[in-house]
Amino acid sequence: MKFDRPATTNPIDQLRVIGQPVDRVDGPLKTTGVARYAYEHHDAAPNAAYGYVVGSAIAKGRIASIDLAAVKAAPGVLAIVTAENAGTFGKGDRNTARLLGGPQIEHYHQAVALVVADSFEQARAAAELLRVNYAPETGAFDLNAVKGDAKPAKVMSDPGDTAVGDFASAFAAAPVKIDETYTTPDESHAMMEPHASIAAWDGDRLTLWTSNQMIAWGVGDLAKTLNMPKDNIRLLSPYIGGGFGSKLFLRTDAVLAALGARAAGRPVKVTLQRALLFNNTTHRPATIQRIRIGAAKDGKITAIGHESWSGDLPDGDPEAAVSQTRLLYAGPNRMTATRLAVLDLPEGNAMRAPGEASGMMALEVAIDEIAEKLGLDPVEFRIRNDTQTVPDVSAKPGDKAAPAMPFSQRQLVECFRTGAEKFGWSKRSARPGAVRDGRWLVGMGAAAAFRNNILTKSAARVRLEQDGKVVVETDMTDIGTGSYTIIAQTAAEMIGVPLQRVSVRLGDSRFPVSAGSGGQWGGNNSTAGVYAACVKLRDAIAGKIGFNSAEADFVDGSVRAGNRSVPLADAVRGGSLQAEDGIEYGDISKKAQQSTFGAHFVEVGVDAATAEIRVRRMLAVCAAGRILNPKTARSQVIGAMTMGVGAALMEELVVDDKIGFFVNHDLAGYEVPVHADIPHQDVIFLDETDPMSSPMKAKGVAELGICGVAGAVANAVYNATGIRVRDYPVTLEKLIDRMPPVG
């Protein structure tokens, strides 16, 4: 199905099932332990041996020699895979570093060997006997030190730099201005389920049970890495214990499980031990961001400039931290710039809302800083600088001469107004450090939330079985987001059956290729693909029983038109009916800018003595198209808000720039929020449908929820204490010297 014009009324608008806060259909499977995760397919591969990954002990250099003798002699060892003995293997299109290092080592904990044994304990014990002699080389590990060498870099398909009007003159002439530099640290996804895979060969055909957000990408890159045809690979990833972007790509576990199984001559399972997750996989790269904003006395932005520096391995990508600044606030004179330095740290890549999450951490503090200089309430300042058209026309190449591009929907102002009222923003003291509650200094902060909505094609297969069941098959993944549920709701709505009659099968490369899960594009696109397949199935059903599907209603297990009603069962008397189709987008995304908007409000307490910061309550107001399931959407947003608190207050992969690695590579050293850190969260979804987004009229929301949170927290800390911290995470040692005296 081609989607190239705004959606009109369609069966989804009935909202009998869609839009209802139904429980997750996969919930009971997960709470009872029935859902099998990547490492748990004992039934499918009952005799799997265990692989244990050995990570490089140096950050950069070469393996001079590697001694396998003691490992080979260890009890239970079946095979050892190293770059030396693995035969020719390549690298996936989406991988920057190779997934099995040697002789060249590109980063710390890059895999150098897989030890395969009968038991996990044997594999681990044997792995510890591996002797690798390294010839280390010096590397670059400190972003600040190499910032001057950073080069201009493109941001995905967009330009890295943009310019509109005359930023330099306008900024110089602005009566009120700020020029500040902010830093965000490297962060780890730190999801619950580590990367894990089981590989089984049948001749030259490979089956891989894994934990991967993007099935088709995984198949493609695995085929390329192993130099084999894609058709000979079956990849299954039905349940995923969190990804946040770390499982967008093929990783070490999958490649080494495949190589290990080939070497051992039997299925092999590999999970990355927790200590490897931080340096072996990808992470959100650190940024240095300079923001300059000039404003007129009336509180209107006249000049806004945002520059970002980040680092990555050679041929890597920058963090797209300036993207939102091209779209969020008005202002006639603008510039953005993206610079990328070479660092020999592990590979930087996507983590929940890549680009915006980091960029908003800086931008939304800068906005508060200029508002304060103007003597304006920071929420009022944001409202005053709203725009209903894309302010940075140069952000869209080729569109320079085009008339101003509208947003398909933009309710940023409504988000702020609603949130301010619900949160009690009017009670905020404009003077920082003025509110005290016992030992706590109390402050409120706000920030915009912003994240683009991405359209990408997605296909599905839908079948009406003779027993009345509707089966949906697509290679879409559910990374804990609720994909199973909203897909079931879509099919139930379209075919007119109760939710319980719909069976959804996901995460199998034998199913039609979907959008996959990432960039908050999964929900809208994958359900739109299911919608397309359901339209086709409705045609088939209607044809069987003599209806014109365009005029028929599919309701309560029947097809109805006029005064005629026929049970669905009549259509499948001769056998089940199946349809396959997908959604494909024309140039509709070029007709209007599709973005999602929100407003975050946070209240913090800062211990007056210790400067410990604790969040007291949070509110997010989101305008993100039709909310397909308010319950699963809310879960996504509160999870994202929690992650934002982590980014604001504690998450930091600490770089040891002598050794060249992230030091705190376990969950004791890399802290993420615990329940006690998150006492109260509210989410409000504004009523919105976006006919430009898809027949579902939905957009992404899962990443919107993190964008801006950290800025709101930092702004609240400032409001509580009068201390502005521009280097994340905002930890007590950055406040302690400026706190008021104790007592």
Partner 1 sequence: MKPFSYQRATSPAEAAAAAARVEGAKFVAGGTNLLDLMKLQIETPQHLIDVNGIGMDRIEPIPEGGLRVGALVRNTDLAADQRVRRDYAVLSRALLAGANQQLRNQATTAGNLLQRTRCPYFYDTNQPCNKRKPGSGCSAIGGYSRQLAVVGVSDACIATHPSDMAVAMRVLDAAVETVGADGGTRSIPIADFHRLPGDTPQIETTLRPGELITAVTLPKPVGGTHLYRKVRDRASFAFALISVAAIVQRDGSGRVALGGVAHKPWRVEAAEQELPRGAKAVASKLLANATPTDHNAYKLPLVERTLGSVLAEAKG
The set of catalytic residues is 703
DSSP structural state of residue 324: G
Binding to partner 1, residues 262-291 (CB under 8 A): 275
121 binds partner 1 (CB under 8 A): yes
Span near partner 1 by CB under 8 A; candidates 449-457, 502-510, 564-572, 667-675 = 667-675
Nearest residue (CB) to partner 1, 335 versus 611: 611
Residue 121 or 421: which CB sits closer to partner 1? 121
Judged by CB under 8 A, the residue of 30, 650, 682, 689 near partner 1 is: 650
Residue 342 contacts residue 313 (beta carbons within 8 Å)? yes
Given a contact cutoff of 8 angstroms between Cβ atoms, the answer to whether 356 and 323 are in contact is: yes
Print the binding letters for residues 429-468 with partner 1: x by CB under 8 A, - otherwise: ----------x-----------------------------
CB closer to partner 1, 611 vs 710:
611
CA distances from 725 to 28, 182, 450, 736 (A): 44, 9, 22, 11
The mark string for 674-693 relative to partner 1 (x by CB under 8 A, - otherwise) is: xxxx----------------
**Does 238 engage in binding with partner 1 (CB under 8 A)?**
no
With CB under 8 A as the contact rule, which of the stretches 455-463, 481-489, 592-600, 659-667 interacts with partner 1? 659-667
Among 507, 673, 695, 700, binds partner 1 (CB under 8 A): 673
Lookup: tokens for 735: 């406040």
612 is an interface residue for partner 1 by CB under 8 A: yes
Query: Contacts with partner 1: how many residues (CB under 8 A)?
Result: 40
By CB under 8 A, tell whether 117 contacts partner 1: no
Q: Is 70 in the site for partner 1 (CB under 8 A)?
A: no
| Sequential DSSP letters for 369-436 | HHHHHHT--HHHHHHHT--SB-S-GGGSTT-TTSPPPBBS---HHHHHHHHHHHHTGGGS-SSTT--E
Whole-angstrom distance, CA of residue 330 vs CA of residue 298 = 14
How far apart, in whole angstroms, are the C-alpha atoms of residue 610 and residue 441?
11
Query: Per CB under 8 A, which region of 149-157, 311-319, 389-397, 730-738 contacts partner 1?
Result: 730-738
Q: Are the C-beta atoms of residues 515 and 476 closer than 8 Å to each other?
A: yes
Asked if residues 321 and 358 have their Cβ atoms less than 8 Å apart, the reply is yes
Q: Name the minimum Å distance from CB 313 to partner 1.
A: 20
Q: What is the dihedral of CA 722, 727, 733, 735, to 10 degrees?
A: 0
Site mask for partner 1 (CB under 8 A), range 614-643, x = bound: x-----------------------------
Ramachandran class of 530: left when φ > 0, alpha when ψ lies in -120 to 50, beta otherwise: alpha
Q: Which residues contact 598 (CB under 8 A, 6 or more apart)?
A: 412, 415, 448, 449, 450, 620, 621, 622, 623, 624, 704, 705, 707, 708
Coil, strand or helix at 489: helix
Scanning residues 528 to 557, which ones bind partner 1 (CB under 8 A)?
Answer: none
Smallest distance from partner 1 to CB 56, Å: 9
What is the rounded distance in angstroms from the CA atom of residue 189 to the CA atom of residue 191?
Answer: 6
Selected range binding partner 1 among 192-200, 255-263, 445-453, 654-662, rule: CB under 8 A: 654-662
The piece of 231-239, 422-430, 529-537, 661-669 that touches partner 1 (CB under 8 A) is 661-669
Q: Are 219 and 229 in contact (CB under 8 A)?
A: no
Please report, as ranges, the residues that interact with partner 1 according to CB under 8 A.
57, 121, 124-125, 128, 275, 439, 607-612, 614, 649-650, 654, 656, 658-659, 663-666, 668-669, 671, 673-677, 731-733, 736-737, 739, 742-743
